[in-house]
Amino acid sequence: MSELKTRIIGKFKDKASIGKARLVHSFSSTAVKYIHLALLKSTTHTSNKPPNSDYVSDVISYSNSRYAPAAFAAALWRLRVTKNAIVATKSLIVIHKLIKSSRDKFEGLDRGRNNLKLNEFSDKSSTLALELSQWIRWYGLYLDRLSWVPKVLGPFPNLLENPKEKVKEKDRVSSYQTGCIMRQTDFLVSFFEHICTRPETPPMYENKIVDEIRELVIQDYFMVVKLVMVRLRVLTERLIKPGVKHIGDPGLNDLSLVLVRLEECKESLSGFFWRCRRLAEDFWCLVEMLKAETVKDNKQMVKLAGLVQTTVKNDEEMVEILAGSSPTEWVTFDDSETSTHDVENLDSKWVTFDDYNG
């Protein structure tokens, strides 16, 4: 009886909302009115299924038009005024699809501000509502991060379906400075880390709305995998060169930390491998290979640290080799790599290095 009552009340609310929208937007443009009606019909109270795909498509069709702000505003408004978990989850799914379909930078959410304000969302009206509530809290933060991706990297490139986009993305990333690429990679890894915090779902648990969220997140995951792979390969070309030892390179140290964070995400993300197993295997093989290279360089740095005393004075780097009681000897460097074979006696004078790479 309680479930039947909830359904009847839900249908009444849906009809009332549609009637109110027709009245409120009677003097609005046809497009704005159509957006609000399509949104209300795709985020009903009564169905436990994902948003109606036909109505969602109608809303998304405006995502790259001059009515895009109206489409985003309508979805955000629908989310903020409801206290119903089913309506809120469907609204988040619509917002997710709007963000991904938009070619422009989505300005609806600001990084760090958590504008969706869903941290304390809780609907205790049913077991389903309780289950969806924890997903809503996580999903809101997830979309905050997703909306920031175009601001950091530019529009979403379709790397999974269009091979030409991969070449364009590689050329675009190659034009950036190493520090910029590292910051982008760090942000994308934090995106993986948030996916790892998703609510636990029992293996036999069936919820079509949650399944829709998981499907969208899996698509995002493989998109981000491609973006990270492009950046890791560019960083590899710059920081890990055959025959060149980058002892104490800060860029290499930053890369090493990023790789460690990626490794910590692998187990949690392994449940997504079935979708694109070849891509997943290539990605994690790349991560393991790069991690092995950076670990090897770090070991060489630690070994050298036992023989070399480094001091810094007036922003000039000075390296003195300690050779017990023997006369002081000094290391000189060429422009490309450490030259440990060139040793000169300089009568206890410091050697200064103007070249940063030395």
pLDDT recorded at residue 195: 94
120 exposure class (CB count in 10 Å sphere: 0-12, 13-18, 19+)? exposed
Using CB atoms within 10 A of its CB, is residue 230 exposed (0-12), middle (13-18) or buried (19+)? buried
DSSP classification of residue 159: T
Burial 249-265 (b: 16+ CB within 10 A, else e): beebbbbbebbeebeeb
The set of residues, in sequence order, having a beta carbon less than 8 Å from that of 80 and lying 6+ positions away, is 116, 117
Both tokens assigned to 67: 């009515």
CA distance 144 to 147: 5
Cα dihedral 171→175→177→183 (10° resolution): -40
Rg (CA), the chain: 27
SS3 of 226-292: HHHHHHHHHHHHHHCCCCCCCCCCHHHHHHHHHHHHHHHHHHHHHHHCCCCHHHHHHHHHHHHHHHH
Instruction: Tokens 């501000």: give the residue.
Output: 113
pLDDT (tens place) for every residue of the chain, 358 residues total? 566 777 778 788 888 888 888 888 878 889 999 999 999 999 998 777 889 899 999 999 988 888 888 898 899 999 988 999 999 999 999 999 998 887 655 555 554 454 677 888 999 888 888 889 999 999 999 998 888 887 788 766 665 566 677 788 888 889 999 889 999 999 999 999 999 999 987 655 678 889 899 999 999 999 899 999 999 999 888 877 655 454 445 667 888 899 999 999 999 988 888 778 888 899 999 999 888 887 665 554 444 444 444 444 444 443 443 344 444 444 444 444 444 444 444 444 444 444 444 4
Instruction: Supply the pLDDT for residue 36.
Output: 92
pLDDT for res 150:
77
